[in-house]
Amino acid sequence: MENPRDIFIAHLRRKGLFLTRERRLILEAIFSLRKHFDFDELYDTVKKRVGRVSRATIYRTIPLLIDSGLIRDVFRGTSGTQYEQVRGLEHHDHLLCVSCGSYIEFKDERIERAQQEVCKKHGFVSVDHKLGIRGYCRKCALIKRVKA
């Protein structure tokens, strides 16, 4: 019950849904992609493997995968939503370079713990959180300084 396929099937069962050929192929496609991906990358990959999929099917399957805990959406830029594979339970946050678009993942236990305390204090039951720090990565910060 550890592999993505079983997790996905279990989730579908729970909701009385079928594991269709398309859903299976979308799931497989995701794990052939790099960790972060967007709609178009997923769509193109599935299409390349199957020959034909409807965009609608991809859009309909994404929330199922999110609810299964297999992927999550990380940020929404001007051009669509970015998703990432969730492997295991290692939650993490992101440093996002506004200049070159690269990102760095990080995890800080102090931040996680402090968040839990904040929730507790407000009687808030957290289901998800997202911390994104926007700025300039090391390389771009240097270029910027040279320019200025």
Please give the residues from 11 up to 50 whose contact with DNA meets the rule CB under 7 A: 12, 16-23, 39-40, 50
Cα-Cα-Cα-Cα dihedral sign, residues 63, 64, 67, 73: negative
Considering the complex, what minimum distance in angstroms separates the CB of residue 28 from DNA? Answer: 13
| CA–CA distance, 32 with 115 (Å, rounded to integer) | 33
**Residue 12 binding partner per list its own copies, DNA, none, with a CB distance cut-off of 5 to 8 Å that depends on partner kind:** DNA
Regarding 135 and contact with its own copies (CB under 8 A), the answer is: yes
| Residue of 12, 66, 86, 131 interacting with its own copies (CB under 8 A) | 131
Q: Are 84 and 36 in contact (CB under 8 A)?
A: yes
Q: Are 74 and 92 in contact (CB under 8 A)?
A: no
Q: Are 52 and 60 in contact (CB under 8 A)?
A: no
| CA–CA distance, 127 with 138 (Å, rounded to integer) | 33
- For the window 77-116, what string marks contact with DNA as x by the rule CB under 7 A? -xxxx-----------------------------------
Which positions touch DNA (CB under 7 A)? Answer: 12, 16-23, 39-40, 50, 52-57, 59-61, 76, 78-81
